[in-house]
Amino acid sequence: MKGHSVNERGMDIPHYFYKENQFCTIFVSFGEGRFTEVKIQAACDGDVLQITKLKLYSLYDRLAFMKDIIDKAILQALMEKVRLRNSSLGQEAVDQYELFVEQRSDIALRVSMKDIASFLGITPQSLSRVRKHGK
């Protein structure tokens, strides 16, 4: 899954890739109950399990311990998103790509090169050159 938005030029901009067995939500939308410009979309084939906010709260009512478990998983996922994004700030495209592959090899093998290029802030052509030549 990918969290993404569309910029003013109509280009799809991935913000984050989610992997298997990972909670996936748009926090502002979920927390405040409003639409945002960020959307979640499948980036490759897979199965998705979903739960509505109402059903999640119903689960909390029946199994109170689940709230703490889910809150911790969501916080951990959020911290991971920030850590991954911050680790590549200010780096050259080659270094960004190598770090992405190192940290998210499972994602790098499954999503399109177009999505990876957009995530890294480079063109698909630049990514192709980076992958071909490396350092």
Compute the distance between CA of residue 67 and CA of residue 59 in angstroms, rounded to an integer: 8
Q: Is the pLDDT of residue 134 over 70?
A: no
With pLDDT > 90 as the criterion, what percentage of the chain qualifies? 26
Per-residue pLDDT of 62-71, as tens digits, reads 999 999 998 9
* pLDDT tens by residue, 23-65: 888 888 888 888 889 999 998 888 888 888 899 999 999 999 9
- Given pLDDT bands bounded at 50, 70 and 90, which one contains residue 22? confident
Nearest to 24 by CA among 2, 8, 4, 6: 2
pTM listed for this prediction: 0.76
What SS3 class is residue 24?
coil
Number of separate domains in the chain: 1
Residue 37's closest CA among 7, 81, 59, 5?
Answer: 5
Structure tokens at 6: 């569309």
How confident is the model over 65-124, as pLDDT tens digits? 999 998 998 888 888 888 888 887 788 888 888 988 998 888 888 999 999 999 888 888
Residue 135 has pLDDT above 60, yes or no: no
Mention every residue, 6+ apart, whose C-beta is less than 8 A from residue 49: none
Q: Could you tell me the residue range of the domain that residue 101 belongs to?
A: 2-133
